[in-house]
Amino acid sequence: MSEELFELELLGGAVERAYRAQRPEVEAMPWGTIDPSLYPEDLVRAAQKSWTGAAFQEHRTGAACAATLQSLIEARAPLDLIALASRFPLDEMVHVELCSRLAMEFGGGVSIVYEPDAMVATVGQGEEPLLKASHQVVAFFCVGEALSIPLLHGTWKACTHPLTRAVLKRIVQDEADHGTFGWAYLDWVLPHLEPDDLVALGKTADFAIDGVKANWDAIRARPAAETAHVHDLGWMQTDAYLELAQRSLERQVIRPLQARGIPIQSSSAH
């Protein structure tokens, strides 16, 4: 696979105006109000890295949402479920812009090299459409998006700078439907699945959970800082974040999956 540099651009003109008309709240945010000189240099560098990484992760999530949407259409899922999911890729592209612009507010993004062909985890590959969609929904929504809601909400509530707070509030509002979508889909599809299918979905959930835990290692590596600075940058203190993450994983991901008969082997499962 060939590697590429993660770079973003806007086409501008009539296309950008149409995009802005769909999401006018983006330009209404208080851009230009962050002064990087007010914070220690190591924290500014960490903010640049963190928000660039967030933009990349939102880009990956957009790709995952689009791939899942295609599978839902191929599987002839209920039209209202498909219609709801059709909004998600747009939400994620908005989040990409928000996060990347925040990185620029702190002085610029950092270089990220990635493999375009590996942007979306290949869960459910080779399965018929309904099962493929089910694996994607479990990985991307029942784990990834369901967990993001309490973490984003906690970070937003802790945030103090008007710009980072506005960005996080927008993302939290968009993610509400993303996080509940997976459970609505599962409640519809479960009568169509066999016991072996549920076991396979559990393995996919474990795979996604392991990926989430790996991302926590990067958060543990953040430099220690004053609480006021951390909250301005759009973070929670590391210990508080990880405690919320562990608790949310259990309550918002593992328990709901188990309640629907999907076995979880993760060490977090009780």
Residue from 61, 45, 85 nearest 171 by CA: 61
CATH number of the domain to which 205 belongs: 1.20.1260.10
Instruction: Report d(CA 253, CA 259) in Å as an integer.
Output: 10
Q: What pLDDT, on the 0 to 100 scale, is given for residue 232? A: 82
Please count the structural domains in the chain: 1
Checking if the pLDDT of 195 tops 80, the result is yes
Cβ atoms of 155 and 245 closer than 8 Å = no
Residue 268 within any structural domain of the chain: no
Average pLDDT, integer, range 180-196 = 96
Question: What pLDDT does residue 267 have?
Answer: 53
Q: DSSP secondary-structure letter at 222?
A: S
134-148 per-position pLDDT tens digit: 999 999 999 999 998
Helices (H) and strands (E) in the chain, counts: 11, 2
96 close to 103: Cβ distance less than 8 angstroms: no
Q: What is the mean pLDDT of residues 114-135?
A: 88
Residue 270: pLDDT band (50, 70, 90) is very low
Of the chain, the percentage scoring pLDDT greater than 70 comes to 96
Give domain status of residue 266, yes or no.
no
Q: Is 79 within a domain? A: yes
Residue 268 pLDDT exceeds 80 = no
Would you say residue 265 lies in a domain?
no
Return the higher-pLDDT residue of 210 and 227: 210
Residue numbers of the domain that contains 78: 4-259
